[in-house]
Amino acid sequence: MSEKSIKVTISGRSYPLTVNAAEEVRVNEAAKLINDRVEHLEKTYLVKDKQDLLAMVALQFASQYLESKSGSIENQESLLNNLNKIDRLLEEGLSGKVVAA
């Protein structure tokens, strides 16, 4: 993939990055999300220290990531359990046994 040099601005500071062309949109969207959250927190809590605001945003994103990751694992376990039940029912059906689900 071709690489592209871009600049993103986060909390008033500009950062030069080299990204794959396919990543550019996602990186810009991520920077916008961060800036929007910083602005929201700044207005809500009247905090002016950008470092504190960025730390709070990082904590929010990390918490959401962990919650999402946990939910994904639970969904995978549920899916696996359901697939095992279906497999068992199919095996029993093919062997001629009739079992209620």
Distance between CA atoms of residues 10 and 37, nearest Å: 11
pLDDT, one tens digit per residue, over 1-53 is: 689 999 999 999 999 999 998 999 999 999 999 999 999 999 999 888 999 99
Within a domain: 14: yes
**Alpha-carbon torsion 51, 56, 57, 58, what sign?**
positive
In a domain, 39, yes or no: yes
CA distances from 88 to 7, 27, 54, 61, 65 (A): 55, 45, 51, 40, 34
In a domain, 57, yes or no: yes
How many domains, the chain? 1
Long-range Cβ pairs for the range 62-71 (8 Å, 24+): none
Whether residue 40 is contained in a domain is answered as yes
Residue 99 within a domain: no
83-96: pLDDT as tens digits:
888 888 878 778 87
The Cα–Cα gap between 54 and 38 comes to 7
Q: Residue 101 falls within a domain, yes or no?
A: no
Answer yes or no: is 100 within a domain: no
Domain encompassing residue 45: 3-94
Q: How far from 77 is each of 46, 70, 84, CA to CA, in Å?
A: 43, 11, 10
- Does this model's pTM top 0.85? My answer is no
